[in-house]
Structure 1
Amino acid sequence: MNDRLLPGEQGLRLPLSDEQVRVLRVGQAVRLSGRLVTARDAAHQWLVRTFIQPGAHPSADELAVLADLRRILAGGAIYHCGPVVAQQSDGSYRFLAAGPTTSAREEPYQADVMRFFNVKAVIGKGGMGARTLRACQQTPAVYLHAVGGAAALIAQTVRRVETVYQLEFGVPEALWVIEVEDFPAVVTMDALGASLHEEVRRASQAELDRLLGKTEERN
Structure 2
Amino acid sequence: MAWWWKRNTRTTATGGTEQPSELDAPRPAQAPPIPAPRPAADAQDPADPADRWDIIKQDLIELDPDFFGDLDQLAEEDRLSGESRDLTDERLTESLRRLSIRYLVDESGALLAMWERHVMQIRREGPQGEILVLRARAYATLPVEFEPRGLSAVNEWNRTRRFLKGYIGEATESGGLPLYGETQIPLRPGLTDALLDEFIDCAAAVSGAYVDWLHDEGGVL
- In the superposition, the TM-score normalised over structure 2's length comes to 0.23
The structure with more radius of gyration:
2
Q: Identify, as 1 or 2, the structure richer in helix.
A: 2
More strand by share: 1
